[in-house]
Amino acid sequence: MQLRALIYFNELARHGSMRRAAEKLGIAPTAISRQIENLEYHFGAPLVERDPTGIRLTAAGELLAARSARTLRELDHVRTLIDDLKGLRAGRVTVYASGAAASGLLVPALADFSASYPEVRFEVVVASVGRTMQALVEGEADLAVTLFTPPEAETFVRCRVAIDHAAVMAPSHPLARLDAIGPRDLLAHPVAMPDAAFGVRQALDGQMREAGLPPLDPVFTTGALEIQLELARRGRAVLVLPPFSVRRDGAAGTLVARPFRDLRIRTHLDLSHREDRPLSFAAAKLVGVLEQHMPGFRAPPGV
> DSSP labels for 230-265?
HHHHTTS-BEEE-GGGGHHHHHHTS-EEE-BSS---
> At residue 48, does pLDDT exceed 70?
yes
Domain CATH code at residue 52: 1.10.10.10
* Nearest Cα residue to 142 out of 281, 247, 294: 281
Q: Classify residue 84: in a domain, yes or no.
A: no
User: Based on the structure, what is the number of domains in the chain?
Assistant: 3
177 has a pLDDT exceeding 90: yes
What is the per-residue burial (b if ≥16 Cβ within 10 Å, else e) of 152-166?
Answer: beebebbbebebebb
Q: Is residue 185 part of a domain?
A: yes
Q: What is the CATH number of the domain that holds 190?
A: 3.40.190.290
In a shared domain, residues 257 and 276: no
Q: What is the pLDDT of residue 173?
A: 97
The larger pLDDT score, comparing residue 288 to residue 77, is at 288
pLDDT tens digits, residue range 99-151?
888 877 888 889 888 888 888 888 999 888 888 988 888 888 999 999 998 88
pLDDT at 302: 36
Residues of the chain above pLDDT 70, percent = 90
Residue 77 lies in a domain: no
pTM of the predicted protein model: 0.68
Q: Are residues 141 and 177 in the same domain?
A: no
Looking at the fold, whether 227 and 273 belong to one and the same domain comes out as no
pLDDT of residue 298: 56
Give yes or no: residues 282 and 151 share one domain.
Answer: yes
Residue 298 lies in a domain: no
| pLDDT computed for residue 300 by the predictor | 43
SS3 49: strand
Query: What is the extent of the structural domain holding 36?
Result: 1-72
Same domain, 124 and 190: no
In a domain, 220, yes or no: yes
What CATH number has the domain bearing residue 115? Answer: 3.40.190.10
Q: Does residue 124 sit in the same domain as residue 107? A: yes
The residues with which 267 forms a beta bridge, in sequence order, are 163
The verdict on 134 and 278 lying in the same domain is yes
Q: Look at residue 82 and tell me if it is in a domain.
A: no
**In terms of domains, do 238 and 289 share one?**
no
